Chain A
Amino acid sequence: MLYELTESPLDLEALIAAVKTHGSGGLVTFVGYVRETSDDGRAVTGLSYEAHRELALAEMRAIGAEASTRFGPVRVAIAHRIGALALGEAAVAIAVAAAHRSAAFDAAEYAIDELKRRVPIWKKEHYREGEARWRENAAREGR
């Protein structure tokens, strides 16, 4: 189990290592990347993220604990970048290990959906024309 906010590139292998045990029969990962086009079709050059660190980590831990309550025993790791990110870089990474795959898939989807909804992290999109804008998560956005 690993929950972190970091200014360094995300390390998916470290998340996998943190959750995988000899009891793991399946492991699901999700990685969210900086995409070159915004939801409204504008050319993006990069993103910057900031967080309320203490509250964000508490919410991430709570989401991981809830996943086991909802889907049966799962081991969850969540990492989110903060600071300036370039196109193609990973902004968020989640790894979920479980005895069987269905719990791992369900818990991974739950973790990213809940992270977007309730973890205090903010995203600013920087556009090719030079402008930048804070972007809010819509309910069930991007699914």
Chain B
Amino acid sequence: MKVSVVLFARLREIVGAPRLERLVPDGVTAGDIWSALAAEYPALEELRGSTRLLRNGTFVEAQASLRDGDELGLLPPYGGG
């Protein structure tokens, strides 16, 4: 199945793109996606604990499973104002 990953701020810079498409096995979790990305981009690893996960616009935990067509947002700590 296919999922989209949307990245912001320093996460976007580490990956070099605001959006990635990934073909993943059924039953994959948000945390699995993160682990796969961190294997590709080791600089992500230290940011795991501070990154919030957004599945189709709703915050989820790392254990949340994804379905075909889902969009996973990766949000680092905020800096507005």
Contact B57–A49 (Cβ < 8 Å)? no
Q: Would you call B81 and A116 a contact (CB within 8 A)?
A: yes
In angstroms, how far is the closest chain A Cβ from the Cβ of B80?
3
Residues of B within 8 A of A107 (CB): none
* A137 / chain B contacts, CB cutoff of 8 Å: 77-81
Q: Is the CB of A122 within 8 A of B81?
A: no
* Interface-lining segment among A18-26, A50-58, A64-72: A50-58
Main secondary structure of the interface of B (DSSP, over half): loop
Chain A residues with CB under 8 Å of chain B are 32, 49-52, 54-56, 80, 91-92, 112, 115-124, 134-137
Q: Which residues of B sit under 8 angstroms from A54, Cβ to Cβ? A: 57
Pairs A–B under 8 Å by Cβ, sample size 12: A49-B80, A52-B73, A52-B75, A55-B73, A91-B81, A116-B80, A120-B8, A121-B79, A122-B10, A134-B76, A136-B76, A137-B78
B76 CB contacts on chain A under 8 angstroms: 122, 134, 136
Given contacts A120-B80, A136-B76, 4 further A-B contacts (CB under 8 A): A54-B57, A80-B81, A92-B81, A137-B78
Q: List residues of B (37-77) whose CB comes within 8 Å of A's CBs.
A: 54, 57, 73, 75-77
Across-interface contacts of B9 in A (CB, < 8 A): 50, 122, 124, 134
